[in-house]
Structure 1
Amino acid sequence: MNAVMESVRIPATGVLLEADVAVPDPARGVVLFAHGSGSSRLSPRNRFVAGELRTVGIGTVLADLLTREEENVDTVTGTLRFDIGMLAGRLLDLADWLRGYEPAAGLGHGLFGASTGAAAALVAAAARPDTIRAVVSRGGRPDLAEGSLASVRQPTLLIVGGRDHEVLRLNREAMREIPGETRLDVVPGATHLFEEPGALDRVAHLAADWFTRHLAA
């Protein structure tokens, strides 16, 4: 399968964000990744999932939601990774940029969020019901998107490890607040980072199936 693959710098409010973009030809849609606490576009878990999505014809945008300077500050303070409003705003800036990116022209957009990044993805989805078509959360913290959950009408898949007990409870509570189609998939034996053998493969399979179903024009 041919693909456009490039590293770019995408303008967001007051900053430039580093991103790796890959769009297969042909493509079924394109997914923006929102990384979790203290992570970046180089996250091996998200890069694995992104690679699996591309094998089924779904483009991916892996972007840093913090600049290098901000990452240095966050390493010390641990505060920016929980600034869900700022992270969601940058996701929206990335989504707006993607609408004008020629290799992805006309493709439906999805969001894949991990941990705190899932909260940012849900806030962004609530703000863009016309352009964002589906959301997948891996080990997400939907409770941090509390004020936006009632406005998320896109099909939303929540994936949680069976041994990630507190996050599983938070996701079950969030399901009751999201009015759109929502499904919870529990990966047996998996902990928060899905490091157990086969756990991340299951996440990638579930995400690929969800986006394949919901991103097609």
Structure 2
Amino acid sequence: MEPASERPKPPQSRELRIPAGDAVLQGTLDLPPAAVGLVVFAHGSGSSRNSPRNLYVARRLWQAGLGTLLFDLLTPDEQALDRRGAALRFDIGLLAHRLVDVVDWLQRGESVPGACLGLFGASTGAAAALLAAARRPRLVTAVVSRGGRPDLAGAELAQVLAPTLLIVGGLDTEVIELNRLAAGQLSCEHDLRIVPGATHLFEEPGKLGEVAELAAAWFQAHAGAPCGH
């Protein structure tokens, strides 16, 4: 059963309009009291900032003292185009460029806690997160991939400096192999964690909770690490 899609609001939550090149992206910034950092989510193929799975993980991160930004990588018009033919969800270059723009925009703001940002990517969003980490090594402090396709980041994987955690379901055999290949190209601190009995979307009872715990622990462990090292 999927987690409820209703967004549980922490004390500070606001809707954002984020400039990214020629586009304006919709996002929701949620900050718990005395937040120690911020995690930006890059959702997967055909999903949105209202992904119930990412909202579930975000709630666990709030409990760990981490703020979250969930935003739409595509504009409403682009989402409509993508729904008709999946034309954009695998455009990793576009998604990574948008994510870099969002990271830069956040860094210029004064209300975001911490000098560095964590990135949480799912499916194709994981490749975008790793590309953004490679391109902004002094801003991104850690990366977590949930059922991701890090292999789609290509040769830039070797340029990622941020500690990276790859989480894959134990029954998602093809994606496990793709993550192993990608891990072999990472020169940064990294780990591949396989959740036994989980399929690609971690829909089995308790499995998404395991993902959330692993992600929270990873981001907490690297919250104070200097970027670019």
TM range (shorter): over 0.9
* 1:99–1:105 Cα contact (<8 Å) kept: no
* Partner SS state of residue 203, structure 1: helix
Offset, 1:132: 0.4
Cα separation, 1, equivalents of 2:133 and 2:62: 22
In the alignment, what sits opposite 2:204? 196
Q: Deviations over 1:118-176 (max 9, x none)?
A: 00001100001001010000000011111211101110000000000000000011111
TM-score (normalizing by structure 1)? 0.97
Aligned counterpart in structure 1 of residue 130 of structure 2, from 110, 119, 122: 122
* Partner SS state of residue 103, structure 1: coil
In the alignment, what sits opposite 1:54? 62
In the alignment, what sits opposite 2:24? 16
Offset, 1:105: 4.3
The Cα RMSD (Å) is: 1.1
Aligned counterpart in structure 2 of residue 158 of structure 1, from 163, 166, 169: 166
Give runs of ≥4 in structure 1 deviating > 2 Å: 100-103, 105-108
Cα separation, 2, equivalents of 1:3 and 1:131: 26
Offset, 1:98: 1.1
Aligned counterpart in structure 2 of residue 210 of structure 1, from 211, 214, 218: 218
Question: Which residue type is aligned with residue 60 of structure 1?
Answer: T
Q: Deviations over 1:36-90 (max 9, x none)?
A: 0000000000011011101110010000000110011011121201111110111
Does residue 102 of structure 2 align to residue 63 of structure 1? no
Does residue 7 of structure 2 align to residue 5 of structure 1? no
In the alignment, what sits opposite 2:194? 186
* Partner SS state of residue 80, structure 1: coil
Does residue 185 of structure 2 align to residue 177 of structure 1? yes
Cα separation, 2, equivalents of 1:18 and 1:28: 24
Cα separation, 2, equivalents of 1:188 and 1:106: 34
TM-score (normalizing by structure 2)? 0.92
Instruction: State how 1:66-105 maps to structure 2 within 5 Å.
Output: 66-105=74-113
* 1:140–1:158 Cα contact (<8 Å) kept: yes
* 1:30–1:107 Cα contact (<8 Å) kept: no
Question: Which residue type is aligned with residue 164 of structure 2?
Answer: T
Cα separation, 1, equivalents of 2:118 and 2:222: 9
* 1:91/1:215 CA distance change after superposition, 3 Å: same
Cα separation, 2, equivalents of 1:117 and 1:92: 12
Unaligned runs of 5+ in 1: none
Offset, 1:34: 0.3
What is the total number of aligned residue pairs between the two structures? 216
Cα separation, 2, equivalents of 1:43 and 1:106: 25
Q: Deviations over 1:185-209 (max 9, x none)?
A: 1000000000000000000000000
In the alignment, what sits opposite 1:38? 46
Cα separation, 2, equivalents of 1:140 and 1:207: 13
* Partner SS state of residue 185, structure 1: strand
